[in-house]
């Protein structure tokens, strides 16, 4: 949606054009999944409480280009956006995980209670409320929870991911968004160390990531009767 009023200035437009571009798309991964490497960005933030990070505004994307290009020069496919804040549980400053590039992020771990947990950051105004995020949460609550999974929209930190990896509790990490549906993550570079996200070296995708793609594709392509169609 763009303002079309014939004046130059900052203010609400008196007229605007809402337009929709429709186009056919091919498979995002024509030769199968390729797991991506992420670089956690610690010198810039994408969004903040009270800001407009929850909206798909052009203004949210231009500032992401340079951190993305810098991550690419170091060999990473995408950058991971963090938000530094005090953790009320410990009183310490932590890097909270928010989103990856222009995708929402999901992590699967075995939590400290020994339960498998699928988690993603909550909609606190700093997270884009993606339709694929919402779909994955709904499918997980319907189909993974009965298998014993805990499904969480909650804040989590880089420290928690690092501990899960160190203690062998990291299962898999993936991004979600309309273009790719899901994007498996191999590792995350953070403050000089590389956190391995649980994929075996000879695998490009983990079982939950693959399952989510299969479930969502079956609904999109009409292989499964579903109210979302």
Ligand X SMILES: *Cc1c(COP(=O)(O)O)cnc(C)c1O
- Enumerate binding residues for ligand X (CB under 6 A): 56, 99, 102-104, 128, 130-133, 176-178
Greatest CA span in the chain, whole angstroms?
61
> Closer CB to ligand X, residue 4 or residue 178?
178
Minimum distance of ligand X from residue 184's CB (angstroms)? 16
| Angle CA 124–85–198, to nearest 5 | 80
Minimum distance of ligand X from residue 160's CB (angstroms)? 21
Minimum distance of ligand X from residue 228's CB (angstroms)? 13
81 and 99 Cβ atoms separated by less than 8 Å = yes
Q: Which residue is nearest to ligand X (CB)?
A: 130
Active-site position among 56, 112, 191, 203: 56
CB contact set of 221 (below 8 Å; sequence gap of 6+): none
Residue 30 to residues 26, 27, 33, Cα–Cα distance (Å): 8, 5, 8
The answer to whether residue 56 is catalytic is yes
Residue 189 to residues 33, 42, 101, Cα–Cα distance (Å): 20, 11, 14
> Closer CB to ligand X, residue 178 or residue 196?
178
> Closer CB to ligand X, residue 133 or residue 186?
133
Q: Which residues are catalytic?
A: 56
């Amino acid at each position: 949606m763009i303002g079309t009023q014939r004046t130059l200035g900052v203010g609400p437009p008196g007229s605007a054009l809402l337009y929709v571009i429709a186009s056919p798309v091919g498979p995002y991964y024509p030769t199968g999944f390729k797991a991506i490497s992420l670089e956690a960005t610690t010198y810039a933030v994408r969004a903040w409480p009270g800001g407009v990070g929850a909206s798909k505004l052009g203004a949210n994307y231009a500032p992401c280009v340079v951190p993305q290009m810098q991550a690419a020069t170091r060999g990473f496919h995408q950058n991971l956006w963090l938000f530094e804040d005090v953790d009320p549980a410990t009183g310490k400053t932590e890097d909270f995980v928010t989103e990856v590039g222009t995708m929402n992020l999901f992590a699967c771990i075995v939590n400290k209670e020994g339960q498998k947990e699928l988690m993603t950051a909550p909609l606190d105004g700093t997270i884009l409320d993606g339709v694929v995020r919402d779909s994955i949460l709904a499918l997980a609550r319907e189909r993974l929870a009965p298998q014993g999974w805990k499904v969480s929209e909650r804040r989590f930190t880089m420290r928690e991911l690092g501990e899960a990896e160190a203690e062998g509790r990291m299962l898999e990490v993936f991004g979600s968004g309309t273009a790719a549906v899901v994007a498996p993550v191999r590792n995350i570079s953070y403050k000089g160390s590389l956190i391995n996200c649980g994929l075996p070296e000879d695998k490009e995708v983990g079982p939950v990531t693959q399952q989510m793609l299969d479930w969502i594709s079956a609904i999109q392509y009409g292989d499964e009767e579903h109210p979302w169609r």
